[in-house]
A = this chain, B = another copy of it.
Amino acid sequence: MITAVSCSTNDTTEHNDIAAARQDSGVTWVRATNTTPREQELIREEFGIHPLATEDVLNTVRPKTEEYPEYTFVLLKTASLAAKETTFRDELDTDPIGLFIGRDWLVTLSVSPIKVVEQTQRTVIDNPQALPERDADFIAYLIVDKIVESYFDVLDQLEIEIETIEEQIVETTDADVLTSLNEVRRELLSFRRLLWPSREAVGVLARGDPTQTRAITEKYYRDVYDHLVQLVELTETYRTLASGARDIYLSTLSQSTNEVMKTLTVVATIVLPLTLVVGLYGMNFETMPELSWSLGYPAVLFGMVVISLTIVIYFRRQNYI
């Protein structure tokens, strides 16, 4: 589906076909989504876009900015954490969106309708005077900015997951915590794989390399770039926090095993010698003089108490109990 709009500082007009929009004054913005091969061909011919570029939008290529003589091609992806995890490749729900920025035209191409594109459309149509200079590169900035802003929601979710795990780890050595932790680590890995090339792609625009980005817009892309740097940094930090959480989990487990072994050792070291003593006087030898002593039984009980106390004191000194 293709929608063509021509926007000048005074008004915004929707057109039936691309050619009409281009002839109107102002910037031509073509929004294409869920396109047929015929529609793709139409756009390619009208703006001289390379087939390899439109192909990239429809396949799962990593975010990038590519400079062509007549336009700049920016490929980004929207992201949200998948509700139910299946395989590694699907952990992060992503939707690619291609921005073709020309001198006085902009084409946005996506497989499915992208929410931030629709939001930007409303901004441009409703508040035409709010835009400092309504040019193709500034409208593209509005979209890029909103995409990157939405990444912070993903990051917030990941932060909550990690802090939940960190709280659980102090309380339990349950193996489920480790499974959750591994899931977060995989999500962070997927998110990082999205952020790194996105940062690079926006960096090209922020440095103002392409001829289609004006000096006045560079500052705005630099602002988005700062956000991507912050996102990358926080993702790396959360990876380290996840590593630390795993270390604590393993230490807590070792600590627990140590405590368990101490308990067993203390019990066995106290009870086993006493059992030997009572076994001794359970022997059936005909000649065992102690057995006929009238105070033999209380003496043995007293001896057992002495043995127990000695062992208890020893372990107390060793900090076992």
- Which A residues lie at the B interface, using CB under 8 A? 50, 52, 56, 61-62, 64, 66, 87-89, 159, 162-163, 170, 172-173, 175, 178-179, 182, 185-186, 189, 193, 219-220, 222-223, 226, 229-230, 233, 237, 240-241, 244, 246-258, 260-265, 267-269, 271-276, 278-288, 290-292, 294, 296-297, 300, 319-320
Contacts and interface: CB of A to CB of B under 8 A. Distances in A.
A291 B285 contact: yes
B258 A173 contact: yes
A257 B267 contact: no
A127 to B, nearest CB: 16
A230 B222 CA distance: 26
Contacts of A233: 62, 193
A268 B274 contact: no
B294 A287 contact: yes
A11 B282 CA distance: 104
A223 B297 CA distance: 85
Given A62-B229, A261-B264, A286 B282 contact: no
A21 B238 CA distance: 48
Q: Which of A241, A284, A285 has the most CB of B within 10 A?
A: A285
Contacts of A253: 251, 254-255, 258
